[in-house]
């Protein structure tokens, strides 16, 4: 199997790099969003998951996925797992503090003082969480096979280095995880989770979300038909702030397609309401020029739905 872990320091672009790697290597992406959503769904009614159970839960989820797919994981701490399993490659993305604060400025559309404050609070929370879940706050060099510097390598260069490294190491030549190996990993995970009166997650895929509009569910099923991975409303982008830096207006695209690093917004509403949404999208593109977003209007949705026969009309 191939398990590629990409860990980043606070403010690094590890999530974007993970999405690019998953697309290039035809692997599934297990990120914070997907992993935490899975745990929340699986542990419904049982309260929060103890921090000490995180390593075993993460290992169980990755092992189950690796039976059928290569895996790219950007969940912090993943690099500490699967040490004795062949086919694992661990990357650390690092950079100067000023570079990482600059990343937050661009990503969140905020000024440097606000980005520094966000960086410091996020870093403190990350260190605390890492201590509780993995027993240490700092990274260990021996936990990584490759360290990439954001200050000198852009995203394309980072991917080129990773591709060359995994090819040289034969990472993808080990095939998928065997059922016997997965059973052994799951047995070990169950022993560790028993201390917390927990079982490994019962499923890899989370239940379908509650869509706010019927057209969104239709679009999601079209994506499923073509086996295109998607996330529903995973992120909101601030668009306006008051004088104290509080967000007064934001925009949340309907879908994110990790394989294509693309956000998708569906607009099947009346034309009078479309103008307001178009203004938000135009503002988003000006504030976040690195974000790729595609808008599907009512006619676009009708063409898709009529072509693939999902229903007779687009709900309005």
118: number of Cβ within 10 Å: 18
Q: How far apart are CA 145 and CA 87, in angstroms?
A: 12
User: Environment class of residue 276 by beta-carbon count within 10 Å: exposed (0-12), middle (13-18) or buried (19+)?
Assistant: exposed
Taken in order of first residue, the domains within the chain and their CATH numbers are 3-194 (3.40.50.300), 214-308 (3.40.960.10)
Query: If we measure between CA atoms, which residue out of 115, 53, 55, 49 comes closest to residue 83?
Result: 55
Pairwise CA distance, residues 255 & 276, whole Å: 19
Which segments of 170-297 does DSSP mark as H helices, in order?
179-194, 214-225, 271-287
Residue 224 neighbours by CB under 8 Å, 6+ apart? none
For 32, 268, 292, 305, the CA distances from 76, given in Å and listed in that order, are 8, 38, 25, 40
Q: What is the pLDDT along the chain (316 residues), one digit of tens a residue?
A: 589 999 999 999 898 899 889 888 888 889 887 787 777 666 544 457 788 899 999 999 999 889 888 999 999 899 999 877 788 999 999 999 999 999 888 877 889 999 999 999 999 999 999 999 988 888 999 999 999 999 999 888 999 999 999 999 988 887 888 888 888 888 888 888 888 888 887 655 555 678 888 788 888 888 876 667 788 888 889 998 888 778 888 899 999 988 788 999 988 656 556 778 888 899 999 999 889 998 888 777 666 655 555 444 444 4
Give pTM, 2 decimals.
0.67
Sign of CA pseudo-dihedral 216, 217, 218, 219:
positive
Phi then psi for residue 238, to 5 deg, are -65, 140
């Amino acid at each position: 199997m191939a398990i590629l872990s990409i860990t980043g320091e606070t403010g690094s672009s590890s999530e974007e790099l993970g999405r690019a790697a998953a697309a290039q290597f035809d692997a599934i992406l297990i990120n914070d969003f997907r992993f935490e959503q899975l745990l929340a769904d699986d542990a419904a009614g049982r309260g929060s998951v103890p921090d000490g159970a995180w390593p075993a839960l993460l290992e169980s989820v990755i092992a189950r996925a690796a039976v059928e797919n290569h895996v790219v994981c950007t969940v912090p701490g993943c690099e500490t797992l699967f040490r004795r399993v062949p086919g694992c490659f661990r990357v650390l993305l690092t950079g100067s503090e000023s570079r990482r604060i600059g990343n937050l400025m661009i990503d969140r559309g905020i000024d440097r003082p606000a980005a520094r404050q966000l960086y410091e609070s996020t870093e403190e929370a990350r260190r605390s969480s890492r201590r509780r879940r993995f027993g240490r706050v700092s990274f260990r060099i021996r936990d990584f096979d490759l360290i990439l510097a954001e200050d000198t390598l852009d995203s394309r260069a980072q991917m080129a280095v990773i591709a060359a490294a995994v090819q040289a190491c034969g990472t993808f030549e080990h095939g998928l995880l065997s059922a016997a190996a997965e059973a052994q990993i799951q047995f070990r995970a169950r022993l560790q989770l028993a201390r917390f009166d927990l079982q490994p997650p019962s499923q890899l895929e989370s239940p379908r979300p509650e869509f706010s509009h019927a057209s969104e569910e239709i679009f999601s099923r079209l994506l499923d038909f073509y086996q295109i991975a998607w996330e529903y409303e995973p992120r909101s982008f601030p668009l306006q702030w008051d004088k104290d830096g509080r967000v007064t207006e934001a925009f949340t695209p309907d879908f994110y397609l990790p394989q294509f690093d693309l956000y998708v917004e569906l607009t099947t509403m009346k034309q009078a309401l479309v103008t307001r949404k178009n203004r938000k999208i135009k503002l988003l593109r000006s504030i976040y020029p690195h974000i790729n977003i595609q808008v599907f209007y009512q006619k676009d949705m009708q063409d898709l739905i009529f072509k693939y026969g999902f229903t007779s009309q687009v709900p309005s």
